[in-house]
Amino acid sequence: MAPIKLYGMLQSTCTQRVILTCSELSIAYELIEVNMMKGEHQALSYTSAHHPFGRVPALEDDDVKLFESRAICAYLLAKSALSGGTAKVSDVNGKSPVALGKFQEAASVEYSYFDPAMKGLAFEKMFKGFMGKGEADQEVVETLTAQLKKTLDLYEQRLKGQDYLTGKDFTLIDLYHVPWVAFMPRIGLENEITSRPNFEAWWKRINERQSWKDLQVKMAH
């Protein structure tokens, strides 16, 4: 089977989600670099063929084209399950309505609260300056930090008595969080991990996964 084509940047947290999924599912991929610093993601050749909104990542798998990291990850997991792959990522499809509901609830929390808070804080605390857009807006930082804290407090509660965010098994929900949690120390938020023992224990379990170890090696080069 030919490797899938993954259009993105190794430094992109969204691209990292898909790479982690490929690693967990033992799916071969070819990373086709899209240089966002040079604006390649906004080129008509890219938006017309891969991602109409000019973002990364995007996927080509024979005649299948997809964009948006979570959609790609879900597709890869479903495809792996159909092909009889030995996935290390639990699939909720076919499980109980309660399991499905809990999964979708956790997915919504990650997408609606955790991700926007981290994305906004990374912009205000780091990328805003790099882009020459001035100093961080402290009011925005305070609002986003409060949202992040509330979300992590929920995770701390959920992780009491269970290893992962939806229960005993590692799922895509856990994987979706990995790139941004890893980014937290870079913007002065390491204490938000270490001050929550259940969440910190979850993060230590994540750090033992080979997929994350391998990705860290790739990013270091």
- Residue 89 pLDDT class (50, 70, 90 cuts): confident
CA 64 to CA 71: how far, in whole Å? 12
What value does the mean pLDDT of the chain take? 94
- Residue 88 pLDDT class (50, 70, 90 cuts): low
- Is residue 2's pLDDT more than 90? no
Same fold, 4-89 and 97-209: no
CATH number of this structure's domain 4-89, picked from the four choices 3.30.70.20, 3.40.50.10420, 3.40.50.920, 3.40.30.10: 3.40.30.10
Which of 55, 60, 74 has the alpha carbon at shortest distance from 17? 74
**pLDDT, tens digit, for every residue of 39-61?**
999 999 999 999 999 999 999 99
Cβ-proximal residues to 218 (8 Å cutoff; 6+ apart), any chain: 10, 19
Domain boundaries, the chain: 4-89, 97-209
Terminal C-alpha separation, the chain: 28
Give the pLDDT score at 194.
98
Query: What are the tokens at 7?
Result: 């259009």
Average pLDDT, stretch 177-181?
99
Give the pLDDT score at 187.
98
**pLDDT, tens digit, for every residue of 93-129?**
667 898 889 999 999 999 999 999 999 999 999 999 8
- Is residue 178's pLDDT more than 70? yes
Give the pLDDT score at 208.
98
Query: What are the tokens at 129?
Result: 């300056």
Query: What are the tokens at 159?
Result: 């992780």
- Is residue 7's pLDDT more than 70? yes
**pLDDT, tens digit, for every residue of 134-160?**
999 999 999 999 999 999 999 999 999
Would you identify the CATH topology of the domain 97-209? Glutathione S-transferase Yfyf (Class Pi); Chain A, domain 2 (1.20.1050)
Which of 25, 32, 26, 158 has the alpha carbon at shortest distance from 103? 158
Q: What is the percent of the chain where pLDDT is above 90? A: 85
The answer to whether residues 7 and 170 touch, using CB atoms and an 8 Å cutoff, is no
- Is residue 1's pLDDT more than 80? no
Give the pLDDT score at 90.
75
Give the pLDDT score at 94.
61
- Is residue 5's pLDDT more than 60? yes
SS3 letters across the chain? CCCEEEEECCCCHHHHHHHHHHHHHCCCEEEEECCHHHCHHHCHHHHHHCCCCCCCCEEEECCEEEECHHHHHHHHHHHHHHCCCCCCCCCCCCCCHHHHHHHHHHHHHHHHHHHHHHHHHHHHHHHHHHCCCCCCCHHHHHHHHHHHHHHHHHHHHHCCCCCECCECCCCHHHHHHHHHHHHHHHHCCHHHHHCCHHHHHHHHHHHCCHHHHHHHHHHHC
